[in-house]
Amino acid sequence: MALRDQVSSASGSLTQDVQVHDFFPVRDDVRDAVSSHESNAEKTVMCFGTFDVLHPGHIAYLREAASYGSRLVVIVARDATVLRIKGKVPLHTEEQRLRAVAARESIAVLGGVDDPYEVLSLFHPAVLCL
């Protein structure tokens, strides 16, 4: 199922204004975040990573990325993607890594399964931080 299709039936959780979206599918909170972004024309910054064992370097990266806009969307690599690219599974599951990143007050989402670039068309970032 395409990421855009999954967004329309969301399953994630909101805790303390932190948005965690797993796209397995997602609930209305993701759709609302996307709609809010589109209607408010906020400057969205997107960054990517595995974020296994979140450390000070990751925090600095996220802070720096956030400084380039008004909304930070962090794409957390899926376990299968990490295995394919790095040749080993991460220490923490994708859900654990997703929640750790989301606790940093950003929108955290897992990367797409079928099309890793589809998330770009979903959030329309103005800035990509690599």
The count of domains in the chain is 1
Q: Which residue has the higher pLDDT, 75 or 7?
A: 75
Q: Which residue has the higher pLDDT, 105 or 83?
A: 83
**Could you tell me the CA-to-CA distances from 13 to 30, 48, 64 in Å, in that order?**
9, 20, 26
pLDDT digits (tens, 9 = 90+) for 17-61: 334 444 444 445 555 665 555 544 579 999 999 999 999 999 999
Q: What residues have CB less than 8 Å from 115, skipping those under 6 apart? A: 2, 3
Asked whether 7 and 94 are in contact (CB, 8 A), the reply is: no
Average pLDDT, the chain: 76
What domain range is 14 assigned to? Answer: 3-129
Global pTM value: 0.68
Write the Ramachandran bin of 40: left for phi over 0, alpha for psi from -120 to 50, otherwise beta: alpha
Which helix (H) or strand (E) covers residue 96, if one does? helix 94-102
Q: Which CATH number do you get for residue 121?
A: 3.40.50.620
What number of residues does the chain have?
Answer: 130
